[in-house]
A and B are shown apart, each in its own frame.
Chain A
Amino acid sequence: MMTIDDPLILRPLIAGLALAVLGAPLGCLLVWRRIAFFGETMAHVALPGIAVALLSGLPPFAGAAAAALLTALLLAMMNRQADTGLDTLLAALAHVGLSAGLIVLAVSDRIRLDPMALLFGDILALSAADVWITAAICAVGGVVLARAWKPLVFLTLHRDLARVSGISDRACDILFLAGLAGYVALAMKLVGVLLVTSLLIIPAAAAQPFARTPEGAAASAAVLAGGSVIGGLLLSFAWDWPSGPAIVAVAGSLFAAARLMAATRR
């Protein structure tokens, strides 16, 4: 049984809090753009990316991020032709990606990796280097996102008005998708491919009823996500719950409580 001052809980805690803070504004943008499932698809498609990276001796993070970004760009292009609904495209790609990844992992005897760890996260596999890399990338991502925040919010609210005011929608979209892909690849070790978007979506959704500004929503989402990480990890260490699902369970409870509060306030 581990205790709270164990370095093994500090590692996921630092990485988790960094991811919670960066994930909050990204998650708000996903919720506002009504493309919550978009992150899900990117995460699922990251799995074959990881598998290919492992087979070719590349870092899994790079494989995951590249696969997620490629998919996002592909989707952005396909969506412009728009004869199939985006939801259909997303669902199809998510499951094809997941299946392709699982097949590669199953048939390759060169990869010794528990698929469960990829699907639901494995915080015990977090090395100290992983933690610092995660924190550093989150910090850089946070600075970039803060600078692009206003145009991204404007584009999300009204694309035409933003474009007439001189904002380049294509540059902003690519930046947003790249950020999302990087996030998905980073968060995978903590919560796994299947749960990665929950850390983006659930706290952001819970924060909406109480916020008065876009920044307020992002800040509240960051607090709720941070709380979910802390609560989930504590539960995980105390009762041996799987860490990813524990974090999501706490986030889900906070979401339910927020909805309840919003409903009774009215």
Chain B
Amino acid sequence: MQPPFPDSALISLRDIRFGLGGQSILEGVDLDVAPGEIVTVVGPNGAGKSTLARIAAGLLKPDGGTVRRRPGLKIGYVPQDFPATPPMPMSVRRFLDLPGSLTQTEAQDALTLLSAAHLADKPIGRLSGGERQRVLLAMALAARPGILILDEPSKGLDPISENDLYARLPLLRDRFGFGVLMISHDLHVVMAATDRVVCLNKHICCEGSPRDVDAIAAFRTLFADPEISHLALYHHRPHLHPHDHDGEDGHDDDD
């Protein structure tokens, strides 16, 4: 049984299936993001996290399942990769102008919001990793999104820039009220910035508050040994989520 579609959700994914070259990447994933909620998807390499983010952003069509977005929902997207040396010459200001829907003031405001106003005239090929991340976030924010989708936003960042990013995110959410769907490979760095954690390894193996999820053995083994965790996950699928369907959600960690 699929959980019903909540009316309040910005994005609802139901029974999402996706495969590539005969290999299954997502197997029946359900996910909702509510307004003002920060949801972080964690999981090992190859768990299908980025695929899920791309499906939520509408960049990829799932092989099966339903994607529902609130009508008129604007999406701000921060991709996993952005070329450190872009192919063409371009300033940050000109980059923010690319979506074509922003005024100069809006673009400047978005940069200011991220303490990046001084970068406006810098060529995008000369930005540091942290600066690049802030500029990408500025572009996503400037579109006044209803939901922000961040695919491994701290990839390639030094710890200071990483902390800076995760410190900003809840503040921006409080100010603008958007929902956030964030992908991460490391729960601990995003814990403080997250309302709800979803552990993904092709299917959702557990979800709950960061503290609860951190305490689950299934989550720990997920990252310890991919082989063992994969088997273990099929044996028991602990769900901490309150709306759980039937009574089979034992958290007994017998390994």
Interface of A with B (CB < 8 Å)?
28, 31-34, 150-151, 153-154, 156-158, 160-166, 208, 211-214, 216-217
Does A164 lie within 8 Å of B91, measured CB to CB? no
Is the beta-carbon distance between A214 and B89 smaller than 8 angstroms?
Answer: yes
B83 to chain A: which residues have CB within 8 Å?
157-158
Q: Nearest 5 pairs between A and B by C-beta?
A: A32-B87, A165-B99, A164-B77, A154-B98, A211-B89
Q: B87 touching A164 by the CB < 8 A rule? A: no
Taking Cβ atoms with an 8 Å cutoff, the residues of B that contact A are 54, 57-59, 75-77, 79, 82-83, 86-91, 94-95, 98-101, 123, 136, 139, 143
Whether the Cβ atoms of A165 and B101 lie closer than 8 Å is yes
In the complex the two chains form, is A163's CB within 8 Å of B82's CB? no
Contact B57 A157 (CB under 8 A): no
User: Do B59 and A157 touch across chains, with their CB atoms under 8 A apart?
Assistant: no
Chain A at the B interface: SS class: helix
| A156–B88 touching, CB < 8 Å | yes
Among residues of A, the one whose C-beta sits closest to the C-beta of B149 is A164
Q: A154-B99, A157-B98 are in contact. Are A165 and B89 (CB under 8 A)?
A: no
- List 22 interface pairs A-B (beta carbons < 8 Å), by A numbering: A28-B88, A33-B87, A150-B98, A153-B88, A154-B99, A156-B87, A157-B87, A157-B95, A158-B79, A158-B82, A160-B77, A161-B98, A162-B98, A164-B76, A165-B98, A165-B99, A165-B100, A211-B88, A211-B89, A213-B94, A214-B88, A217-B88
Contacts of A31 in B (CB 8 A): 87
From residue A61, how far is it (CB to closest CB) to chain B in Å? Answer: 31
Chain A residue numbers with a CB within 8 Å of B98 are 150, 153-154, 157, 161-162, 165
| New A-B contacts (4) at CB < 8 Å, excluding given A161-B77, A165-B100 | A158-B82, A163-B59, A166-B99, A214-B90
With A150-B98, A160-B79 as contacts: A213 and B143 at CB distance below 8 Å: no
A250 to B86 alpha-carbon distance, docked (Å): 29
Residue of B nearest to A157 (CB): B86
Give the shortest distance, in Å, between B199 (CB) and chain A (any CB).
Answer: 25
Q: Is the CB of A164 within 8 A of B90?
A: no
Report B-chain residues with C-beta under 8 Å of the C-beta of A216.
89
Q: Shortest beta-carbon distance, B49 to chain A, in Å?
A: 15
In the complex the two chains form, what is the Cα distance from A217 to B89 in whole Å? 8
In the assembled complex, the CB of A209 is this many whole angstroms from the nearest CB of chain B, namely 9
Closest to A165 in B: B99
B residues near A156, Cβ cutoff 8 Å? 87-88
Contacts of A213 in B (CB 8 A): 89-91, 94
B72 CB to closest chain A CB (Å) equals: 12
User: Which residues of A are found within 8 Å of B143, using beta-carbon distances?
Assistant: 165
